[in-house]
Amino acid sequence: MEQPPVRRDGLQIDEHRGFQEKFWKAERIAWVCFGVIILLALLGVTGSGGLRARMKLAFDEGFVEVPRFSRWEASDSLTALLPPGTAGHSLSVGSDFFRTFQVEDIDPPPRSSEGSSGAIVYHFQADAGQPLALTMHLRSQNPGIVKYQVSVNGGPAQTARTIVWP
């Protein structure tokens, strides 16, 4: 059996130093990549919650919170808070939304719904002087980017964009 040569530091180890240094460099690059992935997950880019996972659309008469990032075939929600006022409220969601998302449940259930000019309008009954908090439970059906319009009580619509990860 042949003995490995003695190195300058006095160790008698047979190693491929060039390969080892390349491997260490690849490990460091992988650590940085994993750190970036963890940071993106904490920000909510993976669609499982996080600081930037949801988008809030402010209207004169309340706000609507939609998912900014979602996961394909995973449960998600659209929430709205409409201030006290008249006894009736409405939420209009563009038809592009329904090409990607399936509405599984709406809490509280709408009094009625109707299709009008590329959107579905949900009408809700609320006690006068009471705010209305509603939640639409959703499930995405297709991965991709979907842009849709949302409006409250017949006011001007705002554009929302959701990225659905595969």
pLDDT, tens only, 20-62: 899 999 999 999 999 999 998 888 887 777 778 889 999 888 8
Pick the closest to residue 20 from 33, 3, 7 (CA basis): 7
pLDDT of residue 16: 79
pTM of the model: 0.75
CA atoms within 13 A on the CB side of 56: 6
pLDDT of residue 86: 67
User: And the tokens for 143?
Assistant: 């991965």
pLDDT tens for each residue of 70-127:
989 889 999 999 887 666 788 899 999 999 999 999 999 999 999 888 899 998 887 7
Contacts 24+ apart (CB under 8 A), 5-9: none
